[in-house]
Amino acid sequence: MAKDISEPINVPQAYLAKLLQPLVKENIVSSVRGPKGGFYMDDENLEKTVIDIIFVIDSEEKFSSCMLSLDKCNEENPCPLHNILVASRNDIFQQLKEKTIRELAHEVALGNAFLPL
């Protein structure tokens, strides 16, 4: 239930619920209403990645736009930070795109990562 997720991570329940709604709509999270209801992830959901979530909640631009917010900059006209940062940004993007929620959950199950849930 929203409450079970929101409380341990100190996010207001209503706000979490609002954030989850577009994820349900985009089939990244599943839900059932009523008693014994709540949010869950089915087999298909678990194959989604962190990037899938980011693209729904925020936007695709986070990983493609200039890190100095210069709108005329791109790979051909790189800003001074581009060359020193773009490799790391791409690494992060790749990691978030490759890693499925299932894999992340597995790490938690193995005790290699922790969640306050």
Partner DNA sequence: TTTTTAAGATGATTTATATCATATATTGAA
Partner DNA sequence: TTCAATATATGATATAAATCATCTTAAAAA
> CB atoms < 10 A from the CB of 41, how many?
16
Closer to DNA by Cβ: residue 59 or 95: 59
Maximal C-alpha separation, the chain: 56
Supply the minimum distance, in Å, between the C-beta of residue 71 and a second copy: 7
Per rule CB under 6 A, is residue 99 in the interface with ligand FES?
no
The interface region with ligand FES, picked from 3-11, 28-36, 42-50, 63-71 by CB under 6 A, is 63-71
Contacting a second copy within 47-86 (CB under 8 A): 50, 69-73, 77-85
The residues with which 32 forms a beta bridge, in sequence order, are 38
How far apart, in whole angstroms, are the C-alpha atoms of residue 51 and residue 99?
9
Per rule CB under 8 A, is residue 99 in the interface with a second copy?
yes
Look-up of token digits 């209503």: 14
Residue 55's identity, in one-letter code, is: F
How far apart, in whole angstroms, are the C-alpha atoms of residue 93 and residue 75?
16
Supply the minimum distance, in Å, between the C-beta of residue 25 and ligand FES: 27
Name the H helices within the chain: 2-6, 13-25, 50-57, 80-98, 101-110
Per rule CB under 7 A, is residue 33 in the interface with DNA?
yes
Residue 56 contacts which entry, a second copy, ligand FES, DNA, none (Cβ below 5-8 A, type-dependent): none
Contacts with ligand FES, residue ranges (CB under 6 A): 66-68, 70, 73-74, 78-79, 81-82, 86
